[in-house]
Amino acid sequence: MTGRGVDTRLLDRCAALVEAAADGRRRVLGIAGAPGAGKTTLVEALLAAVAADPRLADRVAHVPMDGYHLPNAELDRLGRRDRKGAPDTFDVGAYAATLATARAVPRVPLAAPSFDHAVGEPEPGSIEVGEGADLVVTEGNYLLLPEGGWPAVRAELDEVWFCDLDPSRRRTRLVERHVLAGREPDDAQAWVDGSDEANARLVVTGRDEADLVLVDGRITA
């Protein structure tokens, strides 16, 4: 996002989803994009704007995909630890099931995992979604991936926004993020050039399937 804040058209789209939930079913908004494209930045700005909007305050919950990373012990068992963040390193079935529960009628309270970036592990049951939430926002790389178990996730999303960014800027952001997280610069660059870019190539194949495309927080399509 830019310093201008959230485009009011995004808030209007959220308000339309909230209004549609008057039929009793929560709506789910997905925000997809490659690693480093600005998903988290957008969600943080959106949630702050939602809290200040009388139409939306206290009616929007947040359940990120990150909480569905497989635990490190399971990744070690499967031999996938060096590819953490790839599509098959998430519990996609549990993620889809959580979103389906979010949309259930009648509504039920919902518990979901978060992700502790300091230790690199999911935290089961640390997010609570009350019955009063009309809209659940979820973000992740693979919401539009047409393979594996990911189509089941897309089926639970009422709308999907895709975050895009110039590839060179996106890679620079990723390297900086990994360095801040404790990697050596050379190691961070190698991880971005390898794992992150392999994942990004998968993610961008779904761009045209999104309901809305944003580049650096600006609506383009």
Give the CA dihedral 144, 146, 149, 152, nearest 10 degrees.
Answer: 60
d(CA 80, CA 77): 8
- pLDDT tens for the chain, 221 residues long, are 433 479 999 999 999 999 999 999 999 999 999 888 889 899 999 999 999 999 999 999 999 999 999 999 999 999 999 888 899 999 999 999 999 999 999 999 899 999 998 888 999 999 999 999 999 999 999 999 999 999 999 999 999 999 998 887 877 777 777 677 677 878 777 766 667 777 888 888 899 999 999 998 889 86
Domain borders along the chain are: 8-216
CA-nearest of 95, 82, 103, 173 to 140 is 95
Fold of the 8-216 domain: Rossmann fold (3.40.50)
Q: Which amino acid is at 32?
A: A
Q: How far from chain centre, in Å, is Cα 163?
A: 10
Residue 204 CB neighbour total at 10 angstroms: 16
